[in-house]
């Protein structure tokens, strides 16, 4: 946001100095940056046994299989693609404690492709909820994204819906729900970080 404000200020100064064209271009870039880095408040639902989306965007995959932190387990995966038009602030899907953070360098393929979760630059965050179950989310960089920001640290407590970081431009977040949970969304649905329920304990 500081960069965006600086661009707006420089653009305004240039316009006042009658450098209208270049000043207008810089102000337009600053306005886009301000819009892109928007961070609206979210009110998470407070009820037990739910998992919230960690990202704004479109659900592009709901499946079951191994998870990066548990290669021999059976987890529900819910993948959310974030287009450049979405809010890009990521939020914690559950309340608990950060167990592990692991950054993996990689490529920058289109994030809506399924293979992006294995080949792209990505950041794994594992959470332990209050009942001791392991949840995970993976921040995946996309074709335009060139930076993943994670503000969490191992052993740090987190609240459900808390801001955890941001991925610059079009990207993806994969959620891994423990076996006791069922997915409550379908491919094609649009979700909001910190508000939309994507999973709940199976009855």
Q: Quick one: average pLDDT of 12-28? A: 80
Q: Quick one: average pLDDT of 76-90? A: 91
pLDDT of the residue at 112: 47
Q: Is 31 a domain residue?
A: yes
pLDDT of the residue at 190: 97
Quick one: pLDDT band at residue 17, thresholds 50, 70, 90? confident
Percent of the chain with pLDDT over 90: 52
pLDDT of the residue at 78: 97
pLDDT of the residue at 26: 80
pLDDT of the residue at 22: 84
pLDDT of the residue at 111: 43
Range of the domain at 177: 50-201
Within this chain, do residues 80 and 10 fall inside the same structural domain, yes or no? Answer: no
User: Does residue 121 have a pLDDT over 90?
Assistant: no
Over the stretch 154-189, which tens digit does the pLDDT of each residue have?
999 999 999 999 887 668 899 999 999 999 999 999
Catalytic site residues?
A: 171
Q: Is 42 a domain residue?
A: no
Q: Is 70 a domain residue?
A: yes
Within this chain, do residues 20 and 69 fall inside the same structural domain, yes or no? Answer: no
Structural domains of the chain, count: 2
Quick one: pLDDT band at residue 115, thresholds 50, 70, 90? very low
Within this chain, do residues 108 and 84 fall inside the same structural domain, yes or no? Answer: yes
pLDDT of the residue at 119: 60
pLDDT of the residue at 13: 81
User: Does residue 104 have a pLDDT over 60?
Assistant: yes
CATH of the domain at 170: 2.70.70.10
Within this chain, do residues 27 and 59 fall inside the same structural domain, yes or no? Answer: no
User: Does residue 127 have a pLDDT over 90?
Assistant: yes
User: Does residue 136 have a pLDDT over 80?
Assistant: yes
User: Model pTM?
Assistant: 0.82
Within this chain, do residues 7 and 66 fall inside the same structural domain, yes or no? Answer: no
Q: What is the DSSP string of the chain?
A: -HHHHHHHHHHHHHHHTT-HHHHHHHHHHHHHHHHHT----------TTEEE-SSSEEEEEEEEEEETTEEEEEEEEEEEEE-TTS--EEE-SSSEEEEEEEEE--B---TTSTTHHHHB-EEEEEEEETTS-EEEEEEEE-SS---EEE---TT-EE-TT-EEEEE-SSEEEEEEE-TTEEE---TT-EE-TTT-EEEEE--
Within this chain, do residues 26 and 120 fall inside the same structural domain, yes or no? Answer: no
Instruction: Determine contact, residues 145/175, Cβ cutoff 8 Å.
Output: no
């Amino acid at each position: 946001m500081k960069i965006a404000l600086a661009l707006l200020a420089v653009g305004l100064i240039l316009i006042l100095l009658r450098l209208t064209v270049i000043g207008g271009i810089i102000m337009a870039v600053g306005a886009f940056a301000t819009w892109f880095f928007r961070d609206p408040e979210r009110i998470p639902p407070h009820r037990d046994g739910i998992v919230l989306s960690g990202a704004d965007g479109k659900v592009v995959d709901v499946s079951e299989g191994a998870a990066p932190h548990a290669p021999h387990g059976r987890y529900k995966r819910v993948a959310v693609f974030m287009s450049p038009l979405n809010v890009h602030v990521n939020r914690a899907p559950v309340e608990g404690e950060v167990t592990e953070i692991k950054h993996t360098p990689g490529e920058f393929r289109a994030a809506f492709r399924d293979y992006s979760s294995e080949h792209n630059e990505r950041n794994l965050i594992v959470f332990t909820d209050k009942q001791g179950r392991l949840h995970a989310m993976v921040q995946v960089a996309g074709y335009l994204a060139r930076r993943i920001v994670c503000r969490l640290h191992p052993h740090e407590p987190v609240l459900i819906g808390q801001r955890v970081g941001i991925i610059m431009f079009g990207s993806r977040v994969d959620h891994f729900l423990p076996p006791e949970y069922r997915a409550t969304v379908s491919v094609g649905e649009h979700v909001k970080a910190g508000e939309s329920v994507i999973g709940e304990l199976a009855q």
